Amino acid sequence: MMTNSFTTACSPVSLVELIEVACAMEVMSPKAGNVAPGHGFADASIVDYLKSARAIAPVLATACEQSLGETIFKAVQATREVVNHNTNLGIILLLAPLATVPRDRPLSEGIFKVLESTTVADSRLVYAAIRMAQPAGLGKACEQDLNDEPTRNLQECMMFAAERDLIAAQYANGFEQVLTCGFDWLTETGAIGLPQPLQISWLAVRLLAAYGDSLIGRKCGQQMSDVVREKAQKLLDSGWPIQHHAAPQFAEFDAFLREDGNRRNPGTTADFIAAILFAALRDGGLIPAGDWFKRKPD
């Protein structure tokens, strides 16, 4: 069970609140290379992400009432109504299936039925949503390409991209990196007694060390993703964040990711953080300490 910075919930929390808080916790934590407190991008700020979180939360919370494709499409539409650039496509693609699982079923059990029940119509809507969001660095696939009309259900379409995109891989493997690896690592960090934002920052580096980052791979090439992965592992080996003397190594890693006009932004990792936090909030029976449920964008 996660301890220290997380506290047991005393009353039921709505799905809307869980989604919005998971997204807020992600962007408000000092993660290396991402939009974070004190670190905006030229075209994106923390406020943009908080507005996006508030916009998608009520849409995703009604996922059980519509098809998965409809949920994803409507969530991207809702985002476009409050910001004019892509802030959360990856988060939507990860949270929508999780939000579809009935609240009385554990995510690890219910996610398989959600994924296996997808249709070609879902694929069409998701392809349209992705084109609307205009994510960076998309290449051309040999089969079921985004610029073509899909002919397979959404899970099958995602399988074609699973080798090069970790978000797509979740549709193929039952959200293994979210519900098993990520959830377990978050639990481990909670047992160490670090401040909650640092726990989340550590989790992001662990994910980078284990998997690299799909967004970095698309924008900068697989070789750069591998370099980032190696640097993340070196940072963990330094003893950070438990060893205070290793703080300069984190600052160096953060600076490296922010070079080249933020093209090395580990955006896929940030998306996974939001999904892992949602899973922990929902199935761990835990809420974060502090006033997360009161924070609103300006």
CA distance 178 to 273: 8
Say what the pTM is. 0.92
Burial 85-102 (b: 16+ CB within 10 A, else e): ebbbbbbbbbbbbbbbbe
Please choose, from the candidates 237, 226, 238, 234, the residue with its C-alpha nearest in 3D space to the C-alpha of residue 264: 226
Q: In this predicted model, what pLDDT tens digit does every residue of 260-294 receive, in sequence order? A: 888 999 999 999 999 999 999 999 755 565 655 45
Q: Tell how many helices (H) and how many strands (E) occur in the chain.
A: 15, 2
Q: Which of 32-46, 66-80, 121-135, 192-206 has the highest mean pLDDT?
A: 66-80
pLDDT at 9: 39
**Average pLDDT, integer, range 194-211:** 94
- C-alpha distances in angstroms, 134 versus 63, 80, 182? 23, 11, 27
105-119, 189-203, 241-255: least confidently modelled range = 189-203
Q: Which CATH number fits domain 6-294: 2.70.170.10, 2.40.160.20, 1.10.4200.10, 3.40.50.970?
A: 1.10.4200.10
| Structural element, H or E, at residue 248 | helix 247-262
5-9, 10-14, 107-111, 209-213: least confidently modelled range = 5-9
CA distance 111 to 28: 28
CA distance 43 to 85: 8
**Average pLDDT, integer, range 67-81:** 98
Q: Where are the domains of the chain?
A: 6-294
pLDDT at 293: 46
SS3 17: helix
pLDDT at 270: 98
As a whole number, the mean pLDDT across the chain is 90
Q: In this predicted model, what pLDDT tens digit does every residue of 139-166 receive, in sequence order? A: 555 555 677 889 999 999 999 999 989 9
CA distance 91 to 276: 10
- Reply yes or no on whether the pLDDT at 129 is more than 60: yes
- Reply yes or no on whether the pLDDT at 6 is more than 70: no
